[in-house]
C-alpha cells in the first residue's frame, strides 16, 4: 500500500482517483478468472486499491492488488477434467448448470468466516467505493454491495446470457439477435425466430425459478432484511461483457452494457521458455497449436480419438504440432515425431509467433478470442457449453473449420487440416476480422477501467435505463397497443352505428315520399 501515493502521482494525468475496490469472483473456473484478474490488475495499475475474493490467488505479489479472501475449492478443475466427465456431466442444460453449480452452490461460499467478518466489520480507512461481481449464476454477491452501500458493477466472461439482460434493461431484439444459447445466425428464418423467442422466455423463467433459492442463502448468512435476489440484480449499475460487434454482431444496447471483448489478452508476466521459443523458431514449415483449454485433458480421450489425432497430424509433416498434454505418461505409444508435447504452454506467446499456421481448439471463448487477436485461423472441436455456438459463429465468418467429436474420423480430420493449411480464405478472413476486433477508440482494458471509474465518479444510477422503472408490458408498449386497438374498434363501431343511422333516416324519407305520391 506504500506504493499507492507514488503510483497515483505517476498516473495523475490518466485519471487516478485512488478508490478502494472489492472484487468478488467466487466461481471456481480459471477461464473466467483470467479476464477478471486482468481487469483488477489494470485497476490496480491506475492507482486503485484492489481487494479480491476468489479461488485463484496470485502466484506473485502485485502492487495495489490484495488477495483478501481465498475461497477453498472442493474440486480442482484445472488440467483435471476427463473426456468421460465432459460427455456425461457437462453436456446437460447450460441453464441448469449455471443456475445450480454456477449459482446456488457458489452462493454457499457466503458461509465462509472471512466473508462473514468482512460483512460485519468492513474496512473504514479507507472504506470501499465499489463492488465488482461476476455476472453468471451467483448474483447473490450483489448483496455485499447493498450492505456496504456502494455501487455494484457486473462483469461477464461471455456474451450475456438471456436472464442477464433484464438486470440493466438491455433491449433484446429477438427478431435478429439470437440468445447466446443458440447457434442461429442473425438472419434467422421464421421458425428460428419463433424458437429464439420461446427458448429465451423459457430459459429466463427457468433461471429465475431455480435461483430463488439464493434468497434463503443470502438471508441465512448475511441477514434477514436483505432485498429479493431480483431486486439486487436490478441494482447493478453496469455490466462489462466479453463480446465485441466484430464477432457477435450489431445489436441494440443500453449504455449500461459495455463490450470489452478480449480484455484478457495480454502478455504481461507471460514467460516463454527458451526451449519452446527455439522449437517454434526452427519450425520453418510452420506449426499448429493444439489445446483443449485449461480444464480438459486430451490424454483422457478414448484411444480411437487419439489414434485419429496421431494419424492425421503425423501426415502433415514437415508442418509441426505443439500439443498441450498435462500428463504425457497417460498417452498411448506411437506419438508422431512432428508433435511436441508440453504440460503447460504460454498460449498468447504461441499464438503471436510468426510460424503458427492454425489453432486446434475446443472453442472456448478466451482462447479463440486470443486467436482472433493475433489473426490465427481455427479448427474447432466443441465439447460443451458455449463452445458449439462459438465455433458455429466462426464457421459462418469463414475463420474456422468445425469437427464433431461424436462423428470424428481420420478422413474428416485430414480434410479439416488440408483446408486450414492450404485454403487461404481462412487466414485472409481472420486477418480482416482481427483488424476489426482491434479497431477501437480505446483498448478493451482501458474501456473497462474508464467506465468503472465513471461509475465511481457519478454513482450507481449514472447509466440506469428509464426502462428499469417500467413493467415489461409498458416497455413493449402493450398497454399503448391495447388502447389504440380499443380506440380503433370503438371508431369502427361508431362509424357503423352512424352509417346505420344515416341509412335508417334515408329509408324513412323514402317511405314518406312514397306515401305522398300515392295520396
Q: What is the band of 92 on the pLDDT scale with cuts at 50, 70, 90?
A: low
Q: What is the band of 13 on the pLDDT scale with cuts at 50, 70, 90?
A: very low
Q: What is the band of 85 on the pLDDT scale with cuts at 50, 70, 90?
A: confident
Say yes or no to pLDDT of 372 above 60. Answer: yes
Of the ranges 8-22, 71-85, 259-273, which one carries the lowest mean pLDDT score?
8-22
Q: What is the band of 15 on the pLDDT scale with cuts at 50, 70, 90?
A: very low
Q: Which residue has the cell 357503423?
A: 496
Give the pLDDT of residue 490: 96
Give the pLDDT of residue 30: 87
Determine phi and psi for 131, rounding to 5 degrees: -115, 135
**Other beta carbons within 10 Å of 98:** 23
Round to whole Å and give the CA distance between 399 and 376: 8
Summarize pLDDT for 474-515 with one digit per residue, the tens.
Answer: 988 999 999 999 999 999 999 999 999 888 888 877 766 666
Grid coordinates representing 424 are 487461404
Q: What is the DSSP letter of 338?
A: T
Summarize pLDDT for 413-434 with one digit per residue, the tens.
Answer: 999 999 999 999 999 999 999 9
Summarize pLDDT for 204-216 with one digit per residue, the tens.
Answer: 999 999 999 999 9
Residue 493 CA: distances (Å) to CA of 162, 189, 337, 483, 504: 42, 38, 85, 15, 16
Of the ranges 88-102, 250-264, 439-453, which one carries the lowest mean pLDDT score?
88-102
Round to whole Å and give the CA distance between 442 and 450: 9
Give the pLDDT of residue 79: 57
Round to whole Å and give the CA distance between 199 and 497: 45
Say yes or no to pLDDT of 1 above 50. Answer: no
Summarize pLDDT for 245-283 with one digit per residue, the tens.
Answer: 999 989 999 999 999 999 999 888 788 999 999 999 999
Give the pLDDT of residue 515: 65
Of the ranges 7-11, 301-305, 320-324, 447-451, which one carries the lowest mean pLDDT score?
7-11
Residues 6+ apart with CB under 8 A from 404: 381, 382
Round to whole Å and give the CA distance between 319 and 222: 58
Give the pLDDT of residue 386: 84
Q: Is 23 helix (H, G, I), strand (E, B) or coil?
A: strand
Model's pTM, two decimal places?
0.89
Q: What is the band of 454 on the pLDDT scale with cuts at 50, 70, 90?
A: very high
Average pLDDT of the chain is 91
Give the pLDDT of residue 12: 43
**Other beta carbons within 10 Å of 395:** 15
Give the pLDDT of residue 456: 97
Handedness of CA 32, 33, 34, 39 (dihedral sign): positive
Amino acid at each position: 500500500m506504500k506504493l499507492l501515493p507514488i503510483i497515483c502521482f505517476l498516473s495523475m494525468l490518466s485519471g487516478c482517483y485512488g478508490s478502494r475496490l472489492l472484487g468478488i469472483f467466487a466461481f471456481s473456473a480459471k477461464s473466467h478468472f483470467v479476464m477478471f484478474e486482468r481487469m483488477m490488475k489494470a485497476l490496480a495499475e491506475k492507482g486503485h486499491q484492489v481487494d479480491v475474493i476468489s479461488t485463484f490467488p496470485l502466484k506473485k505479489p502485485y502492487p495495489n492488488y490484495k488477495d483478501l479472501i481465498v475461497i477453498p475449492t472442493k474440486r480442482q478443475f484445472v488440467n483435471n477434467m476427463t473426456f468421460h466427465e465432459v460427455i456425461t456431466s457437462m453436456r446437460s442444460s447450460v441453464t441448469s448448470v449455471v443456475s445450480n453449480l454456477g449459482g446456488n452452490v457458489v452462493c454457499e461460499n457466503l458461509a465462509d468466516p472471512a466473508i462473514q467478518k468482512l460483512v460485519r466489520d468492513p474496512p473504514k480507512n479507507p472504506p470501499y467505493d465499489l463492488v465488482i461481481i461476476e455476472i453468471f449464476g451467483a448474483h447473490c454477491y450483489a448483496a455485499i454491495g447493498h450492505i456496504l452501500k456502494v455501487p455494484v458493477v457486473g462483469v461477464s466472461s461471455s456474451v450475456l446470457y438471456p436472464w442477464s439482460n433484464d438486470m440493466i434493461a438491455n433491449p433484446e431484439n429477438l427478431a435478429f439477435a439470437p440468445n447466446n444459447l443458440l447457434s442461429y445466425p442473425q438472419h434467422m428464418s421464421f421458425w428460428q425466430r419463433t424458437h429464439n423467442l420461446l427458448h429465451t422466455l423459457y430459459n429466463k423463467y427457468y433461471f429465475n425459478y431455480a435461483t430463488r433459492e439464493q434468497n434463503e442463502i443470502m438471508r441465512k448468512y448475511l441477514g434477514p432484511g436483505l432485498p429479493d435476489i431480483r431486486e439486487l440484480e436490478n441494482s447493478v449499475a453496469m455490466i462489462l461483457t466479453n463480446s465485441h460487434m466484430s464477432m457477435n454482431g450489431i445489436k441494440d444496447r443500453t449504455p449500461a452494457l459495455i463490450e470489452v471483448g478480449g480484455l484478457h489478452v495480454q502478455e504481461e508476466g507471460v514467460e516463454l521458455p527458451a526451449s519452446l521459443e527455439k522449437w517454434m523458431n526452427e519450425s520453418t514449415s510452420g506449426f499448429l497449436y493444439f489445446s483443449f483449454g485449461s480444464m480438459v485433458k486430451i490424454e483422457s480421450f478414448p484411444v480411437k480419438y487419439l489414434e485419429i489425432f496421431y494419424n492425421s497430424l503425423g501426415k502433415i509433416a514437415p508442418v509441426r504440432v505443439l500439443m498441450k498434454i498435462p500428463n504425457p505418461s497417460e498417452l498411448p505409444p506411437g506419438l508422431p515425431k512432428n508433435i511436441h508435447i508440453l504440460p503447460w504452454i504460454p498460449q498468447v506467446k504461441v499464438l503471436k509467433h510468426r510460424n503458427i499456421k492454425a489453432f486446434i481448439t475446443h472453442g472456448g471463448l478466451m482462447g479463440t478470442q486470443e486467436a482472433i487477436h493475433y489473426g490465427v485461423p481455427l479448427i474447432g472441436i466443441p465439447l460443451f457449453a458455449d463452445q458449439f455456438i462459438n465455433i458455429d459463429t466462426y464457421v459462418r465468418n469463414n475463420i474456422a473449420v468445425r469437427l464433431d467429436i461424436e462423428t470424428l474420423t481420420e478422413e474428416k480430420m485430414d480434410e479439416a487440416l488440408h483446408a486450414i493449411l492450404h485454403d487461404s480464405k481462412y487466414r485472409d478472413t481472420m486477418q480482416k476480422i482481427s483488424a476489426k476486433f482491434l479497431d477501437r477508440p480505446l483498448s478493451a482494458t482501458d474501456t473497462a477501467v474508464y467506465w468503472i471509474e465513471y461509475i465511481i465518479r457519478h454513482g450507481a444510477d449514472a447509466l440506469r435505463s428509464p426502462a428499469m422503472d417500467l413493467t415489461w408490458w409498458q416497455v413493449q408498449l402493450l398497454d399503448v397497443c391495447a388502447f389504440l386497438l380499443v380506440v380503433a374498434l370503438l371508431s369502427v363501431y361508431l362509424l357503423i352505428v352512424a352509417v346505420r343511422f344515416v341509412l335508417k333516416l334515408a329509408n324513412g324519407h323514402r317511405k314518406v315520399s312514397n306515401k305522398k305520391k300515392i295520396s
